[in-house]
Structure 1
Amino acid sequence: MRLLVVDDEAPARDLLRVICMEHDVTVVGEAETGEAAIVLADRLRPDLVLMDVAMPGMGGMAAAQEIARLPHPPAIAFTTAFVSHALAAFDVGAVDYLLKPIVDARFVVMLGRARAARATTDTTPVDDHIWVPVRSEPKRISLGTIERITAERDYVRIEIDGRSHLLRATMDEIAAKLGSLPFLRIHRSTIVRRDLVTGLRHEGSGVWSAVMANGAPARIGRSYLDPTRSALSGIA
């Protein structure tokens, strides 16, 4: 695999070069800024760009957006000391997100994901997942496995497989990421997976709830009731 390393700190680039040598990865170039990364990604056509998020001038996220528009875009993975950047990494279709200091085992996992992404397509970024913080480490989860999303102030709570994860994001941002996947926004503060809704229940006084497969009700906002009924036509 041919890799472009992007980090404004020389010691960080040196460390990544050593790690790459240990895993038979060829470093074809190095850049200290986002602007330089775009130029080198276009010129060198690496398989993977491993890029720091926070750099002087153009940051890693902005550079990744430009790199994704190249005729032959590489896979992109980010390195950063801050787990809070996970949603932004998801926005630009990154294959992975490594927290500094980089652990060898996580580097190996990242390489596997980058290779899988390149094998699937050379032009389309992977955009079917999201990262959530789990014990200060980012965890990559498939969007299709999310069961319910609720707003909590400046965060959203993502429920999956009996567990919940807090992510700093807005409901509108999450709704945009879900796109055409089978989810329903039943309240300004609630999104549910459509196949987990088993019915609708009138709670009285004009209040309705969606009954979930686990038996838990999810209140439906008044302005969302008709669209929800339409989407669930055929469900009692």
Structure 2
Amino acid sequence: MGRGLRVLAVDDMPVALERISRLLRESPEVAEVCEAGDPLTALDLIRTRHFDALFIDVAMPGMSGLALAQLLTRLTEPPLVVFVTGYDEHAADAFDLGAVDYVRKPVGADRLAAALRRVVKMLPAAEPAPPPVPDALVSLPVEAAGRTRYVKRREVVFAEACRDTVKLHTFSGVHPVRMPLAQLAEHWEEAGFVRTHRSFLAAVGAITELRTDPTGGLVAHTELGDVPVSRRHARAVRERLFGAARATEPG
């Protein structure tokens, strides 16, 4: 390895994140350490930067560390993954996902050094070119009753913000995901979605018409119901619908 490691540490507990980051920065193998307090922030960083390895907590709200690692397997050359957790029962699932190591909390310097040695051995001798990062949010993991189901973006007609949860409205039902609507919009607006309201994001192709509701408000009609369109977003919605209509015109 011709340079130090670029590492991303992911943990929703600030004290645990600070500890693992400090130990990584003190390690001679590591050149750079970035931090993420949740998996979605980690995905944003991975979309724009190259990392040799990720040190990920398993139990996190919204999206687990295992679900994050599953998304990373879709990359052409994913970063190596080391799980850092206080639980033993996920070890088998972690290694099934190709994890390099599974480290128990609290992490000691010697145990971390052993994990870093494994990472270094797994890396190619020459520095590879950063691989192209695909759209990491083309599907979202939805956890319910102890199971994880992946809802594909193309299944979603519209998304509705409800406190700290986003409800994905699909023909198969409504699926809650713990994430900010603004973060979802950031990833999906270039993939055919438009923000219609501060609390709603809709698939442009699912909007059949704009019309006025009985109270005089503007709504976007879809097969799963009407989506409110605020004055602030009305112009952008009309422009996106016009652009989509022109793109489908023959010739």
TM bucket by the smaller chain? 0.5 to 0.7
Distance in structure 1 (CA, Å) of the matches to 2:221 and 2:196: 12
Which aligned pairs between 1:63-78 and structure 2 lie closer than 5 A? 73-74=51-52, 76=54, 78=56
Q: In terms of mean alpha carbon deviation, does 132-141 or 145-154 score higher?
A: 132-141
Gaps of 5+ in 2: 1-6, 11-18, 74-80, 100-128, 247-251
Distance in structure 1 (CA, Å) of the matches to 2:147 and 2:216: 43
Q: 1:33 aligns with which of 2, 9, 20?
A: 20
Which aligned pairs between 1:142-153 and structure 2 lie closer than 5 A? 142-153=152-163
Q: Is 2:197 the partner of 1:187?
A: yes
Contact between 1:151 and 1:190, CA under 8 Å: does it hold in 2?
yes
2:172 aligns with 162
Distance in structure 1 (CA, Å) of the matches to 2:49 and 2:196: 40
Contact between 1:75 and 1:95, CA under 8 Å: does it hold in 2?
no
Paired letter, 1:232: L
1:104 aligns with 92
Does the C-alpha gap of structure 1 residues 37 and 124 become closer, same or farther in structure 2, counting only changes over 3 Å?
A: farther
Distance in structure 2 (CA, Å) of the matches to 1:75 and 1:145: 32
Paired residue total: 181
TM-score (norm 2): 0.53
Contact between 1:149 and 1:190, CA under 8 Å: does it hold in 2?
yes
Q: Deviations over 1:171-226 (max 9, x none)?
A: 222212325221011111110111111122222453222111x2522122222222
Shift of residue 83 of structure 1?
3.5
SS at structure 2 position matched to 1:224: helix
Q: In terms of mean alpha carbon deviation, does 173-182 or 189-198 score higher?
A: 173-182
SS at structure 2 position matched to 1:232: helix
Gaps of 5+ in 1: 8-31, 44-57, 113-120
SS at structure 2 position matched to 1:147: strand
2:58 aligns with 80
Distance in structure 1 (CA, Å) of the matches to 2:212 and 2:36: 50
Q: In terms of mean alpha carbon deviation, does 145-154 or 161-170 score higher?
A: 161-170
Shift of residue 79 of structure 1?
4.0
Identity %: 17
Shift of residue 138 of structure 1?
4.2
Paired letter, 1:95: L
2:249 aligns with none
Distance in structure 1 (CA, Å) of the matches to 2:136 and 2:46: 16
Aligned Cα RMSD in Å? 4.6
Q: Deviations over 1:23-47 (max 9, x none)?
A: xxxxxxxxx823444757758xxxx
1:226 aligns with 235
Distance in structure 2 (CA, Å) of the matches to 1:126 and 1:79: 23
2:141 aligns with 131
